[in-house]
Structure 1
């Protein structure tokens, strides 16, 4: 597995077009591989996420089973005349192998929190986005055990509210997306809601957690959701 970091040059028109369209960015990520790696079930797959840290610091993260080539992205949305390749790719396998139960990490995850609802009795259920931070957090907490981690709880003295403030996590950056699949795939538009979680966790099942980091969490993985990254707890 490989982890790649690419800084986006937001001053370029092509970069702004990519950042404004998950479909375009999906295509650009796909073109980073001569043959797109296949995946089965919940196995390792290509995952990506865009972090808008500031107007001058926008970063594309990419996790993949094989090493990508982002030359085309440098030409479209980077600094082609700068020294160096324009992106950094790291061997992710060693890091994953060292993960152990009980480890604590800061994490970031952009995900598509949804649930299934039935409008009328007898009708099939419909996938619907969670709209409030409370329900979006509930979506993550519901999946944490099977995903191999537990979001850390706050000490009682640090809780500002009597309920709904028990965990060390912030839910923010909601974006509602709607776009067509392209001329070659006419039909219903793609619609989904993406939110970002920043928090702290403890690894509870290292094997399941590795699967989460390499296979993603939730839906809309092709369009920038599902990738969790870790950083040391400060």
Structure 2
């Protein structure tokens, strides 16, 4: 697994277009994968991404199964650095204390008691969203110790013929590894829905404490 940090040049029109349209950004990051992957190309390539706003500007994190083809980005699109995640994943052990970050599409499917709305997805916020993350983390080998959450700008498409909107909540905190194998799979495959649109990428670092 590989992680690439891209700092896009915000003076360019194409970077603004990508950042404003989740479909265009999906198409952009897919150029980093090899050609000819066929159906479910994103899953085969293991592509997940997250857009972050930092004190130094906007940053795009892209995770791939194979080393990304950075040369496929337009000349001058931005600066980038890539590193191999596999040593970090191989080093995971039960009981290890980690800091985590994930931007996720926290939703639930409505039960039959909701009548006509039964089976539809509804977005979660506040404590419900945090409970959603705690449950997903536990199911994926990570016991949450501390947690803060913040609603992010929704992922949207600019194509009115195919409107897309996914709510995004970012979860940050510390956690303890309970099952390294489950956690490795969660990092590789992502967690939750809307993975093609900037959700599900789980980042882990050794706990600074």
Q: TM-score, normalised by structure 2?
A: 0.87
3-state SS of 1:115 partner: strand
Aligned to 2:97: 104
Q: Pairwise CA RMSD of aligned residues?
A: 2.5
Cα 1:76–1:25 shift into 2, 3 Å: farther
Q: Evaluate the alpha carbon distance shift between residue 202 and residue 64 of structure 1 in structure 2; reply closer, same or farther with a 3 A threshold.
A: same
For structure 1, the residue ranges without an aligned partner over 5 or more in a row are 79-85, 153-167
Residues in 2 aligned to 1:136 and 1:43: alpha-carbon distance in whole angstroms: 29
Work out the CA distance in 2 between the residues paired with 1:209 and 1:74. Answer: 34
* CA-CA distance at 1:74 after TM superposition: 5.3
Q: How has the CA–CA distance of structure 1 residues 202 and 39 changed in structure 2, closer, same or farther, with 3 Å as cutoff?
A: farther
Question: Which residue of 129, 138, 143 maps to 2:136?
Answer: 143
The 1:122/1:25 distance shift into structure 2, 3 A limit, reads: closer
Whole-Å separation in 1 of the counterparts to 2:142 and 2:40: 23
Give the 5 Å matches for 1:88-167.
88-118=81-111, 120-121=114-115, 124-130=118-124, 132-152=125-145
Larger radius of gyration: 1
* 8 A Cα contact 2:138 2:144, kept in partner: no
SS in 1 for 2:66: coil
Is the CA contact (8 Å cut-off) linking 1:109 and 1:229 kept in structure 2?
Answer: yes
Cα gap change, 1:120/1:198 in structure 2, threshold over 3 Å: closer, same or farther?
closer
Question: Residues of 1 paired with 2:48 and 2:122: CA distance?
Answer: 22
Kindly state the Cα deviation for residue 175 of structure 1 after the two structures are TM-superposed.
2.1
Partner of 2:152: 174
CA contact (8 A) 2:20 2:156 kept: no
Gap runs ≥5 in structure 2: none
- 8 Å CA contact 2:31–2:73 kept in 1: the answer is no
Q: How far did residue 70 of structure 1 move?
A: 2.2
Contact preservation (8 Å) 1:101, 1:205: yes
Question: Contact between 2:109 and 2:118, CA under 8 Å: does it hold in 1?
Answer: no
Aligned to 2:178: 204
Distance of 2:169 and 2:36 partners within structure 1: 27
Q: CA deviation at 1:122?
A: 6.4
Q: Quick one: structure 1 residues 91 and 39, their matched pair in 2 at CA, closer, same or farther if it must change by over 3 Å?
A: farther
